[in-house]
A and B are shown apart, each in its own frame.
Chain A
Amino acid sequence: MAVTITPLGGLTGVFKIILDTDADDTVEANVCDGATTIYTVTIDNSANAAVTYLKFWDLALSESITLGTTVPDMILFASASATTTYVFKDGNAFFTTGLSYAAVTAGGTAGVTAPTSNVLVTITAE
């Protein structure tokens, strides 16, 4: 868990780059501090020979999320041994409460196992 959030256009910038050098089964909560529009998500799963699923919740508190039980609102699939990027043209403004996420080895709602090796996640959002 090593999350760095960089605002663009100075400290008051609304655009942010979120870099997580070890996305795993620990929920990173409300990384954009409230309502969020996502533009890109890059999942660097090159260190893992197995697929990874990045799951997102529109919830602000990690205490509100039980991994494997709380229904994820968005799931992005990352191929094994590859870096996969999702580009949302014009953004996806679904997340009105807070943007929280975790990375596990199973899709759907279930799954609580973290990827074996580090997964790097980069999100651009506002």
Chain B
Amino acid sequence: MAGSLSPLSLSTNLRIYRQTDFIATGAADHDDIFDSGGASTPVLLKIDNTANAAATSYACFYNAVNPTIGTTAPDIVIPVVGGATVNVAIHRATAIGTPFATGLSIACKTAGGTAGTTAPTSDVVLTAVGQAA
């Protein structure tokens, strides 16, 4: 568990979240990652799976606070092959990001879809830029 949240100076609502131990067990620092207490908008995601040379990791994003990993349906799932890093930018025609009305919580596991509660063997690092709104 090593999550950190930094506000950007350009806007108090724009934040960088970095998780150096992105896991599957619903740790407290994986919930409401932009600390918004409500709506959150992910804009940029960097998922670094280089430490898992031969295993795909699935980065899961939930429009929920305190989701039950393995039971709550994830809203976004991004697979990252072993030894790779995936960078994703999200935007709408009229705005940045895609809005999660309830909150943005995360988990990283070894299976796609809803089921699965097993964390990757080695640390996956997530860097997320988004708005706490």
Question: Which residues in A have some Cβ–Cβ distance to B below 8 Å?
Answer: 53, 58, 71-79, 82-90, 92-94, 106-111
Contact = CB atoms under 8 A, between A and B. Distances in A.
A107 B89 contact: no
Interface of B: 56, 58, 61, 63, 72-81, 84, 86-94, 98-99, 111-115
B71 to A, nearest CB: 9
Contacts of A73: 58, 77, 79, 112
A87 B79 CA distance: 14
B98 to A, nearest CB: 5
Contacts of B99: 79
A84 B73 contact: no
A75 B58 CA distance: 10
B112 A89 contact: no
Contact of B81 (A75, A85, A93, A110): A93
A120 B87 CA distance: 24
B98 A84 contact: yes
A83 B91 CA distance: 8
B75 A77 contact: yes
Which 8 A-B pairs rank lowest in CB-CB distance, beginning with the nearest? A108-B73, A108-B114, A109-B113, A71-B113, A89-B87, A75-B77, A87-B89, A94-B79
A88 B98 contact: no
Nearest to A42: B93
Given A53-B75, A79-B98, A86-B88, A71 B81 contact: no
26 contacts: A53-B75, A58-B79, A71-B112, A71-B115, A72-B112, A72-B113, A74-B112, A75-B74, A77-B61, A77-B98, A84-B90, A84-B98, A85-B91, A86-B89, A87-B88, A88-B86, A89-B87, A89-B88, A90-B87, A92-B78, A107-B73, A107-B74, A108-B73, A109-B113, A110-B73, A111-B73
A30 B27 CA distance: 37
B80 A89 contact: no
Contact of A79 (B73, B92, B114): B92
B79 A108 contact: no
Given A92-B86, A107-B73, 13 more contacts: A71-B112, A71-B114, A79-B92, A79-B98, A82-B92, A82-B94, A84-B90, A87-B90, A89-B88, A89-B89, A92-B80, A107-B74, A108-B114
